Amino acid sequence: MQPLNEDELSDRELDAILQEWKAPPAPAGLRASIFPASKPWWQSMWSASIRIPLPAAITVAMALAVVAWQWILPAAPPANVHELQPVAVLRPVIIRSGK
């Protein structure tokens, strides 16, 4: 038993009063700010980026341009031997010089 003292609180009184001061709960978003959830791979692809050296980028761009150029231009039609017909009458023309 503690002696009654009007100028001071007892241990029990002090403990009871101290417990009146409650701390608020931690914010709900705290965990997310510390441990951000990882996105699925297909969502990450939309924001994915790579770093390549400039010479490599130029080389790749030039190679793509060459491939595109060749694809756009019409290629010469190949000769079809089956479409060639023999000449029925051969009429050679002789061109003489000086006449």
Q: Which residues bind other proteins (CB under 8 A)?
A: 1-2, 4, 6-18, 20-27, 30-31, 33-35
Closest to other proteins by CB, 10 or 59: 10
Measured from the CB of residue 49, what is the shortest distance to other proteins in angstroms?
24
Helices (H), 1-99: 11-18, 30-34, 41-44, 54-72
CA dihedral over 48, 54, 56, 61, signed as positive or negative: positive
Q: Which is nearer to other proteins, 26 or 81 (CB)?
A: 26
In the complex with other proteins, the residue whose CB is nearer, 37 or 73, is: 37
User: For residues 94 and 14, what is the distance between their CA atoms, to the nearest angstrom?
Assistant: 133
